Amino acid sequence: MEMLSNLKILCVEDDEFARGEMVSFLKKRAGKVFSAENGEEGIRQYEIHKPDIVIADLLMPGMDGMEMLRKLREEDNKMHAIVVTSVKELDTVLESIDLGVDNYIIKPVEFDELEQKLSKIAEGIIMQRGTASGMLGFIEDKKAVEDAIKKDFIKALKAYMGKGPKEIVVHLTGREVDILVMDPLTVMETNMLQDRKNHEIIRQGRNIAYEAVCRKFAEHISQLLNMNVRFDKAEIDLKKKIDKIKFVV
């Protein structure tokens, strides 16, 4: 249980009651828990929160668990996952093994069994992290530092751009400080976005702005972490309206 307290878990389940039960169970054990009711939302939650482990129901309306895991695997080959399935779907579980799924659990879910399987995966993740030096995943008061970075970065963006984003998510993982900026566009940029010819202009403008803000902000993060941190890059996704900012140690 102690190992799980350091990890983030995403639960993707279309049944509201089953999802609620699992989330309630996980919140007492994991560091952070996120949930989604279908595959499409599961992908979005994964992109935003970068969970350590995904628990996915295989049979869901729309994008099922298998398709969701396949798409996530294309984006992140280090993803860890447990699939939830019925006895009738066991043949499909064999296919999920090819996607690198760590384990599976048969419905109805026995939470003691789920905790054992999660703990085994957590042990491997933590051992892997421990082999690298300078890791940020287990710094003291990690959440407090992430919250401080979030608060100060919002202020820095408002001061430079005149508008703060709808939401910011900060992750300290490995040797990286990743900041996701949700719905960051100004009114002028939103209006310009209606003409596709302006898309590249907006990207260039936002990159220039982030370059100016983040090179200075890297000094602030360095002081917070007591480590040498530098701005690496900004990725502008106008379709999803999410900007990804990366600093490296």
In a domain, 136, yes or no: no
User: Does one domain contain both 146 and 121?
Assistant: no
CA distance 217 to 230: 9
The parent domain of residue 40 ranges over 4-130
Of the candidates 174, 138, 119, 172, the residue with the CA atom closest to the CA atom of residue 4: 119
User: Does one domain contain both 104 and 195?
Assistant: no
User: Does one domain contain both 20 and 121?
Assistant: yes
CA distance 174 to 136: 5
Out of 101, 130, 159, pick the residue that ends a domain.
130
Predicted local confidence at residue 227, as pLDDT:
86
Out of 130, 153, 178, pick the residue that ends a domain.
130
- Cβ burial of 50 (10 Å; 0-12, 13-18, 19+) is middle
In a domain, 137, yes or no: no
User: Does one domain contain both 102 and 148?
Assistant: no
In a domain, 155, yes or no: yes
User: Does one domain contain both 16 and 82?
Assistant: yes
- Cβ burial of 152 (10 Å; 0-12, 13-18, 19+) is middle
Can you give the pTM of this predicted structure?
A: 0.67
CA 179 to chain CA centroid, Å, is: 10
Predicted local confidence at residue 137, as pLDDT:
59
In a domain, 49, yes or no: yes
Predicted local confidence at residue 100, as pLDDT:
73
Predicted local confidence at residue 140, as pLDDT:
67
In a domain, 48, yes or no: yes
User: Does one domain contain both 160 and 98?
Assistant: no
Mean pLDDT by 10 residues, the chain (249 residues): 79 95 93 93 92 92 89 86 78 65 87 92 77 56 86 92 85 85 88 90 92 94 90 91 91
Predicted local confidence at residue 88, as pLDDT:
67
- The CATH number assigned to the domain holding 206 equals 3.30.980
Q: Are strands 167-173 and 103-106 parallel, antiparallel or unpaired?
A: unpaired
User: Does one domain contain both 126 and 24?
Assistant: yes
Predicted local confidence at residue 90, as pLDDT:
61
User: Does one domain contain both 179 and 206?
Assistant: yes
- The CATH number assigned to the domain holding 98 equals 3.40.50.2300
Q: How many folded domains does the chain comprise?
A: 2
